[in-house]
Structure formats: structure tokens, C-alpha cells
Structure 1
Amino acid sequence: MSFQAYLDNIQTKTGKTPTQFRSLAAGKGYADAKGLKPGIKAGEIIAWLKQDFDLGHGHAMAIVALLKGSKKEGDK
């Protein structure tokens, strides 16, 4: 499955776009325009995404990769 397919599945399940997840993460203090804030661990974000959006581990990791900037929309 491509990275974009993960993002599409997440949007279908949650109704949230990648841009909205970036904004939500910024609002929670996890990220800013540059990416994840220093000291923020992936586990914190994964726990939030599992609890608030019922995402599985793999889909939550896709959002973490998006927030870190290691992956972007359209990546395979």
C-alpha cells in the first residue's frame, strides 16, 4: 500500500485531511510548521490518534511520518 493510500484511508475513516491533522497536532502542542517539536515522541502521538480517532498503529505511524516531514502527500 502506498503512503498516499494510507492517507486516503485515514481521511475516509476520520473525515480529516492531512492538513487538518497537522493543525490538530499543532493545537495539541506536538508539532509546528517545521515538524515535530523537540522532545515529542511518536508514542505520544500514536496514543492520541488511537484514542481520539480509533486509528490502528500503522495508520497512526503514517500521520507521525507526515508530521515529521519524512513523508508527504502523494508519496508511494
Structure 2
Amino acid sequence: MSYQAYLDAIETKSGKTPRELLELAAARGFGPTTKAGEVVTWLKEDYGIGRGHAMAFHGVLKNGATISDKHVGSAGSHSDPSTELRLDGIAARGTDS
């Protein structure tokens, strides 16, 4: 599963875009230095998000929307099309997934 696919799955389950979740996280006082366990607990309790997906979100909270180019353009299941993750939501992408 690509990094973007993790974020898309979180959006589908929570009904919130990654950007909206980042805003909610900030309102809770969460930021780049927040421990992963706190984020995992919040997403589990409020949205039923599992640990793996919550850790992907924590990565965005901690490091922003830019990811390593390690899997960009690779043929594997972890391949992402770009080093920039889309945080504006699935609907904003329209047909250019």
C-alpha cells in the first residue's frame, strides 16, 4: 500500500481529509513533536483508525507532506507517484488519482 493510499483510507474511514485531520490535531495541541502513541490513541478512539494507518498520519504530522523518493515510480505495492502527498482529499483530485 502506498503512503497516499494509507491517507486515502484514513479519509474514507474518518470522513476527514488529511488536511482537516491536521487542523484537528493542531487544535488538540498535536504537532511535530507529539509522540506517535498519542496520535494513534486519538485516531483509534475518535475514528476507529488502526495503528498502521495512524502511524502514516503521524508521519505527515511530524514531517509534512514531502516523503522520501525511495518508492516513487517503483513497480512495487508501496509505489507513490510523487514525493508530495495530497492532503486536500480524494474528491479534490477528481480523476487524476
Q: TM-score band, normalised by the shorter chain? A: 0.7 to 0.9
Q: TM-score, normalised by structure 1?
A: 0.81
Unaligned 5+ segments in structure 2 are 68-83, 87-97
**Residue 6 of structure 1: CA displacement?**
0.6
Answer yes or no: is 1:53 the counterpart of 2:65: no
When the two chains are superposed, the root-mean-square deviation of aligned CA atoms in Å is: 1.5
Between 1 and 2, higher relative CO (CA 8 Å, sep ≥ 6) is seen in: 1
Moved over 6 A (4+): none
Answer yes or no: is 1:23 the counterpart of 2:17: no
Answer yes or no: is 1:64 the counterpart of 2:58: yes
Unaligned 5+ segments in structure 1 are none
Give the number of equivalent residue pairs.
68
Q: TM-score, normalised by structure 2?
A: 0.64
1:43 maps to a residue whose letter is: G
Which has the larger Rg?
Answer: 2
Sequence identity percentage: 50
Distance in 1 between the 2:39 and 2:8 partners? 19
Q: Which residue of 2 aligns with 1:7?
A: 7
